[in-house]
Structure 1
Amino acid sequence: MPNTRGTTPRPHRALLFAQLSNSVGDGAFYVTSALYFALVVGLSAPQIGAGLAVAWGIGSLAGVPLGHLADRRGPRGTSVLLALATSGAVASFLLIRAFVPFLIAATVYAAAQSGLAAARQALLAGLVEPAARVGMLARIQATLNAGLAVGAALGGLALHAGTRGAYLAVFALDALGFLVCALVLRTLPPLPGTGTAADGAARFDVLRDRPYALLTLLNALLLLRLPLLSLALPLWIVERTAAPGWTVSALFVLNTGAVMLFQVRAARSVTGLPEATRAVGRSSLVMLASCAVFAVTAAGFGPWPTVAVLVLGAILQVIAEMRHSVGSWQIGLGLAPADRIGQYQGFYGTGVPFARTLGPLLVTTLLIGGGAAGWLVLGGIFLVAGLATGPAVRWAERSRAGAPVPGAGEPAEAH
């Protein structure tokens, strides 16, 4: 796609603005949703936890068929419809006051979010030339973090107010954000559907691609880092260290700020599958080092030495996060057949709901139950998954060179 130096093409700007518009609302939603469902909707903590787990479990399964829909019908129209569906699901939370309607709305929300992520990846692949995709994804990730930070601040104001109206305003903001996202995506150039198969089996081609399925599993294990910052570290800091409570907020600001400032720079060195494989492998080594540093804080240092060690561990963690992200993006897109990007990204993206639903249970069991040894076990999981990614990528490349992947339109090397 041609571009003049120093300017950003309009479709790129639209993709960035669409991401910003819904991430601000999401940031506010994330910090207030649990209390909203408890205090305003009137649900118990077990109902909220079980409902969201079931919703995301079902929603993650929707990624493949909805991604397949984006391939066949065109990613722009599918993205717009799914953004509208997400907006409607969030808006419905404003009216819900019982568990069953909550479960239905949460399931629609999770399914629409999973499908929207896949459709937007297919849309990006159709609008951005292959060499620029990882860089564009890095800019989108930086924009996402900026939006989440602004939204979290707005959500904090709602928590401080503590009123029903403040919570309702947050959910209305999130619904409006996805509506704006849909309108912005609607301005992008239409892309024709690329899927050619009409039978029902075609939408599950990715499930028969064993190398890609293995890479999806390995990526899901590496994404177990997601509940660390939001759940495991706060519990660890409070229960196992002498660090003050405000350290939790400081580490969150450090992480989001670093991603906003350095994610694009981290993406510049990843231009193909070999670089992506090295990035993921090295990120797992850094993640192991981060876990080892966090484990040291159980030694019983004073408050300030503990804060210093936690900051060092958080710096290593965010470095690993940025390197894993850019490598994962390149692998997920680079090995997806050109006419099945939505379907493949829908499957590859199941790692996120896996990490967010099962990850908290696994991580808290390891860390809070196992202490310092649990950190080392978790670091070992990251290391094994990261180092296994290289052989899995080479297996995927060989399978594409030796025989067509089901539904593949061209070899992976062409992407």
Structure 2
Amino acid sequence: MIGRLRAFVAATLVPRTPLGRWLAAAGIVDAFGTGLFVTGSALYFTRSIGLTAGQVGIGLTLAALAGFVAAVPIGALADRLRAGRVYLALQVWRSAGYVAYALAGNFPVFVAVACLIGLADTAVPPVWQAMTAAAVPAEDRVDTLAKARAVRNIGFGLGALSAAVVIQIGTRPAFMALVLVNAVTFLGEAALLRRAGFGRLVTTGTGGGPRRGLGADARYVTFALLNGVLTYHMPLLSLGLPLWIVTATAVPPAMIGVLVAVNTALAVLLQARLARDAVTLPGAAGDMVKAGLSLGAFGVAAYLLAYVGVAWLAVALALVAVVLLTGGELWQSAGAWTISYELAPPERRARYLATYQLGSALQGILAPLVITQVVLRLSGGWLLFAGVAAVAGLLHRPLAARGAALVHPPEPAAQPPQTI
């Protein structure tokens, strides 16, 4: 029994390489602080700083815009200075930003600090991916990314549970401690990765390949935008589905926490397994197709929730919807790792990965408006989302086939010997 448990943990959570295991260990530290802060941040901003909900929304939107603008320049800097070095600097920057959050006492200071943090937040995922790719062999890249993400989900969940204690206490010192602990976790992650030598990794290839044309770059941007559509699983879980449950369904509001817990548990257990096909570009495109269809099916299930008047049947359908939403999340993340990496030129990889991240960043800016004003307000809003998500997934297969031809062009035909 113990042997089977160890094998399961190794297959699900433990990367195969030593540096991959360092990444997972550092990631759980980072994710604990993030889960702690995200869970209690709304109450900290409103109760401790004294902001209104509208002011919080404005500040976070401006922060997302700052990140959108800064992501590509920071990616280009990572190509010049090595992604590991830049990643460590970003974590120190974020730590300082959250210390400043603990000292913020009014709206202008909150906006300034939020924008400074936003400059780093959007750039962190692509720089982290470039650093990870340099740390592990190509055949272990997707496995490492998947297991590190699963481990981060555990850390996030533990942080969220810990935040419940802070919320129960409810005092300003308790909320300030929450923010400062998050700041310390960024420094902790940076210290672990620095000790493991990530700052010294060579994270870009040589520039000996053929120069890319505008068509290749346009295709890469198209992939980024399509990926942004598929990343709507994030705000739908935290915003769209809870609001829909409370306003339009027979699902008891207390089930929202259970549904989030189901999502987290499935993400931990299944991320590595569902990422296995994404080690190749065609397999990654197939995962994106699955993601789009799964999110489309989720949209249909969410639409039907409004027509189920029996509470237990509505709860069962809500659970099915969350399983579909989680499937879309896991397939999207796995497919995006390979597509964004394989179609990026080695000598400018971090910059291209940051470009790919812009699709997700744009989603972060637009999602609250799209979800509240379109998906939830229109009579067929959920069905509209279902159709858009399915199309975004299906488009990946033909685009990836053409992208693969650019990355691995066919060998020129041998010329017959010329005679004189």
**Do both proteins adopt the same fold according to a TM-score greater than 0.5, normalized to the shorter chain?**
yes
Among 309, 312, 321, the alignment partner of 2:329 is 321
Note the C-alpha offset of 1:213: 0.5
- Whole-angstrom distance in 1 between the partners of 2:324 and 2:137: 32
Instruction: Note the alpha carbon deviations across 1:138-182, whole angstroms, 9 max, x for none.
Output: 011101111110111111111111111111111011001001011
Q: Identify the range of structure 1 (282-291 vs 241-250) with the bigger mean alpha-carbon deviation.
A: 282-291
State the AA in 2 paired with 1:390. R
* Mapped pair 1:379 → 2:386: yes
- CA change 1:95–1:302 in 2 (3 A) is same
Note the C-alpha offset of 1:273: 0.5
* Mapped pair 1:178 → 2:186: yes
Query: Where does 1:4-403 land on structure 2 (aligned, <5 Å)?
Result: 8-189=16-197, 190-192=200-202, 194=204, 209-371=217-379, 373-400=380-407
Aligned to 1:412: none
- Whole-angstrom distance in 1 between the partners of 2:178 and 2:356: 30
RMSD between aligned alpha carbons?
2.3
- Whole-angstrom distance in 2 between the partners of 1:286 and 1:354: 22
Contact 2:62 2:115 in 1 (8 A): yes
SS state of the match for residue 97, structure 1? coil
Note the C-alpha offset of 1:360: 1.8
Instruction: Note the alpha carbon deviations across 1:40-69, whole angstroms, 9 max, x for none.
Output: 112222211111101111112211111111
Aligned to 1:408: none
- Whole-angstrom distance in 2 between the partners of 1:134 and 1:230: 26
Note the C-alpha offset of 1:195: 7.6
Contact 1:227 1:359 in 2 (8 A): yes
> Which of 1 and 2 has greater Rg?
2
- Whole-angstrom distance in 1 between the partners of 2:151 and 2:213: 33
- Whole-angstrom distance in 1 between the partners of 2:122 and 2:375: 29
Note the C-alpha offset of 1:115: 2.2
Note the C-alpha offset of 1:300: 3.8
SS state of the match for residue 27, structure 1? helix
SS state of the match for residue 123, structure 2? helix
- Whole-angstrom distance in 2 between the partners of 1:396 and 1:7: 29
SS state of the match for residue 349, structure 1? helix
Q: Identify the range of structure 1 (6-15 vs 213-222) with the bigger mean alpha-carbon deviation.
A: 6-15
Q: How many positions carry a matched residue from both structures?
A: 393
State the AA in 2 paired with 1:45. A
State the AA in 1 paired with 2:202. P
Contact 2:15 2:24 in 1 (8 A): no
Note the C-alpha offset of 1:193: 5.9
SS state of the match for residue 269, structure 1? helix
Note the C-alpha offset of 1:402: 6.2
Contact 1:211 1:393 in 2 (8 A): no
Contact 2:31 2:156 in 1 (8 A): yes
SS state of the match for residue 62, structure 1? helix
Contact 2:27 2:148 in 1 (8 A): yes
Contact 1:121 1:341 in 2 (8 A): no
Note the C-alpha offset of 1:242: 1.2
TM-score, normalising length: structure 1:
0.90
Q: Structure 1 vs Structure 2: percent identity of aligned residues?
A: 32
- CA change 1:63–1:328 in 2 (3 A) is same
Q: Identify the range of structure 1 (209-218 vs 284-293) with the bigger mean alpha-carbon deviation.
A: 284-293
TM-score, normalising length: structure 2:
0.89
- Whole-angstrom distance in 2 between the partners of 1:207 and 1:25: 41
- CA change 1:8–1:396 in 2 (3 A) is closer
SS state of the match for residue 243, structure 1? coil
Aligned to 2:415: none
Contact 2:146 2:334 in 1 (8 A): yes
State the AA in 2 paired with 1:191. L
- CA change 1:193–1:249 in 2 (3 A) is closer
Note the C-alpha offset of 1:128: 1.1
Note the C-alpha offset of 1:269: 2.4
Instruction: Note the alpha carbon deviations across 1:169-227, whole angstroms, 9 max, x for none.
Output: 11011001001011012123312364889xxxx9x999981110010010001111211
Note the C-alpha offset of 1:394: 2.5
Instruction: Note the alpha carbon deviations across 1:371-398, whole angstroms, 9 max, x for none.
Output: 4x21110000101111111222233233
SS state of the match for residue 192, structure 1? coil
- CA change 1:89–1:266 in 2 (3 A) is same
- CA change 1:377–1:66 in 2 (3 A) is same
Contact 1:206 1:344 in 2 (8 A): no
- Whole-angstrom distance in 2 between the partners of 1:322 and 1:13: 20
Gaps of 5+ in 1: 404-415
- CA change 1:402–1:26 in 2 (3 A) is same
SS state of the match for residue 43, structure 1? coil
State the AA in 1 paired with 2:279. T
- CA change 1:207–1:61 in 2 (3 A) is farther
State the AA in 1 paired with 2:31. S
- Whole-angstrom distance in 2 between the partners of 1:208 and 1:270: 21
- Whole-angstrom distance in 1 between the partners of 2:15 and 2:407: 37
- Whole-angstrom distance in 1 between the partners of 2:128 and 2:75: 9
